[in-house]
Structure 1
Amino acid sequence: MKKTVVVIVGPTAVGKTTLSIEIAKHFNGEVINGDAMQVYKGLNIGTAKIREEEKQGIDHYLLDMILPEADYTAADFQNDVEKYVHIISEKSKLPIIVGGSGMYIQAALYGYRFSNRKRDHAYTEKLENLVHEKGVVYIHDLLKQIDPLQAKTIHPNNYRRVIRALEIYETTGLTMSQQIEKEPKQPMYDIIFIGLEMERTLLYNQINKRCDQMITNGLLEEVKQLYQNGYEDTKAMKAIGYKEFLPYIKGEQPLEESIHLFKRNSRRYAKRQYTWFKNKMNIQWYSVTPDTASQTVHTILHDLAGFLGDK
């Protein structure tokens, strides 16, 4: 029999962490982080990583695993999720995956087969040089010509994913879209999907407030420490909440501009998250507002009791 897994998804700042704790408490569960950036040590405030006191004694996995210079991939995440789902299930507890990294979560749940083919570092370097010489839009246009479907799902500024998609075509002869089409369509687990959504104006207001709170909580000091430790050019430091403040810390940009970009990029990311989950997965969505959050949690717990009772 497939193992039962609860998966909580939705845009940033919508309340996924709070819900995950309540579900874990009510249904004897443990939580697996589903945010690709929270695996890194030292990236705490900017990734909204759950604090120890917020865990309420619930065991969490896939947090603070690796140093920022490491390259943590969707294949790594898939392997780790499989390991921890097994560990939690063996304890007769409910695995709960919570996060907003759509591609990582999808890859883990549907058992994507990742190629063992080594990366073509010379070709990657060539594309990175093109980014510096001609800009991100130029290589995004290259992807449009080769794989228009993927080009629609990858923002030009996410040039590392653009490069990876081009590299896959260069080394395999197949576009990323063609490879995804070949992937398994049946999930590895018996999944109960729960999605949280919020009216856009309310959500954007929540995001702006959380960004301000992160700054109050010491985000600038966190970014400065990572910069001083030599992590400026790492994949981890390209995350929202970090890349926006590096120019300020280096004296190249006013603080007000960094804060503006931080909030804007966070809102845009939330929109992309919502679009991804709506298009990629069959999710039971629950609308929530700041004033009705506790009632929504109560409704979800009631519905989940019925879902689990039918298993």
Structure 2
Amino acid sequence: MKEMIKLIVIIGPTAVGKTKLSIELAKRFNGEIISGDSMQVYKGMDIGTAKIKKEEMEGIPHHLIDIKEPYESFNVAEFQQKVTEWIKKISAKGKMPIIVGGTGLYIQSVLYDYEFSDAPSDEDYRNQLEQLALHKGNEYVHELLKQYDPESAERIHPNNIRRVIRALEIFHCTGETMSSILKRQQNVPLYDAAVIGLDMDREVLYERINKRVDLMMKEGLLEEVKALYNQGLRDYQSIQAIGYKELYAYLDGETSLEEAVETLKRNSRRYAKRQLTWFRNKMDVKWFDMTQVESFEKKVEEISAFIEGKLKIKANR
């Protein structure tokens, strides 16, 4: 039997410390990092997506960052295909592929052989739903999804209107819900993977999220959003990202800057909660508590030992 490619996966909610850990593990296990974040693919969206800075990379190659323009779409099937290619390339060089990110379904689609391309489409129906969203709002279309596929409605945020519409389109074309199609997928692992989940005390995590948003604002998030806004970019998948849509509301004059920042913090906290729920319910994860930040080195040792045991390899120390 052909030996499976070894793979390290680091998941967890926003602001939990995935980036810092990934660099340490890449150094120890001779790795290259693949972003598992559905929004870091977009150019010019650096601060709001918490994209790693060049100086933070410490020479570790990073992939699947800045590969799309903000007006382009990006979906789970394309992510699956690109990540699969990168895993093969990195492994062929004798290096360790390390996926780092917080987009649950995207990462799950790579670990297990999910089929996304088979579901049929209906362009007329899709256009109807897009018009409905335009005239009656995203919430209205999301309510339709709730009626037909409550599980998908729970998982997909109303502002991710493209995925809401796709879920409705699948039901319209097949009479079957997207969630039942996903359940039917065979959860047969494609890789010899060590999946590491990072978590921390909820209050500590929420405080970190609030501070991160304040730091993003200091680093120029508003200017970054203004640049997109001034290009006339609107109603694109990228602009639905947390950190962008809230500040668009401010730039549209719908809310004050202070209110927009508070909404951004609240939406980020809610997103972190949804991420954790997804990872806990859908994936086989070894969890590590990152609450005690001062014991980071010790935590890296503990996680490295887990990887060594799981993948039967030795770390560079």
TM-score by shorter chain over 0.5: yes
Aligned AA (1:3): I
Write the mapping of 1:198-237 to structure 2, written as runs, cut at 5 A: 198-237=200-239
User: Which whole-Å deviations, capped at 9, do the CAs of 1:169-202 have from their partners, x for residues lacking one?
Assistant: 1122321122113312102111110000011000
The residue that corresponds to 1:64 in the other structure is 66
Matching residue of 2:48 = 46
Q: 1:141: Cα distance to partner?
A: 3.4
Moved more, 112-121 or 178-187: 112-121
Pair 1:292-2:284 in alignment: no
Alignment length (residue pairs)? 311
Change (3 A) 1:206 1:116: same
Counterpart amino acid of 1:122?
A: D
1:19-38 → structure 2 map (5 Å cutoff): 19-38=21-40
- TM-score (ref. length: structure 1): 0.94
Alignment CA distance shift 1:217-1:64 (3 Å): same
Q: Equivalent of 2:164, from 162, 165, 184? A: 162
Aligned to 2:128: 126
User: 1:120, CA displacement in angstroms?
Assistant: 2.3
Work out whether residues 150 and 176 of structure 1, in 8 Å CA contact, stay in contact via their aligned partners in 2: yes
Q: Counterpart of 1:301?
A: 304
CA distance in 1: counterparts of 2:77 and 2:156, whole angstroms = 19
Cross-structure match for 1:244: 246
Measure, in 2, the Cα distance between the counterparts of 1:145 and 1:233: 24
Q: Secondary structure at the match of 2:132?
A: helix
CA distance in 2, matches of 1:143, 1:251: 30
> Which stretches in structure 1 are left out of the alignment for 5+ residues?
none
Can you list the C-alpha shifts for 1:1-23, whole angstroms capped at 9, x where unaligned? Answer: 11011100000000000111000
Matched residues, percent identical? Answer: 53
Match of 1:184 among 183, 186, 201: 186
The equivalent of 2:4 in structure 1 is 2
Following TM superposition, by how much is the alpha carbon of 1:153 offset from its aligned partner in structure 2, in angstroms? 2.5
SS of residue paired to 1:46: coil
**RMSD, matched Cα:** 1.8
**8 Å contact kept, 2:120–2:170:** no
1:115: which partner in 2? 117
Q: Which amino acid aligns with 1:297?
A: V
2-structure distance, mates of 1:112, 1:298: 33
Name the SS of the counterpart of 1:245 in structure 2: helix
Shifted more, 261-270 versus 229-238: the winner is: 229-238
Q: In the alignment, is the contact (CA less than 8 A) between 1:143 and 1:166 conserved in 2?
A: yes
How many Å separate the matches in 2 of 1:36 and 1:215? 22
Q: Which residue of 1 aligns with 2:144?
A: 142
In the TM superposition, residue 78 of structure 1 has moved relative to its aligned partner by 0.5
**More deviation in 79-88 or 285-294?**
285-294
Q: TM-score, normalised by structure 2?
A: 0.93
Aligned to 1:73: 75
- Structure 1 position 293, deviation (Å): 3.0
Q: State the alpha-carbon separation in 1 of the partners of residues 190 and 131 from structure 2.
A: 39
Q: Which residue identity lines up with residue 153 of structure 1 in the other structure?
A: R
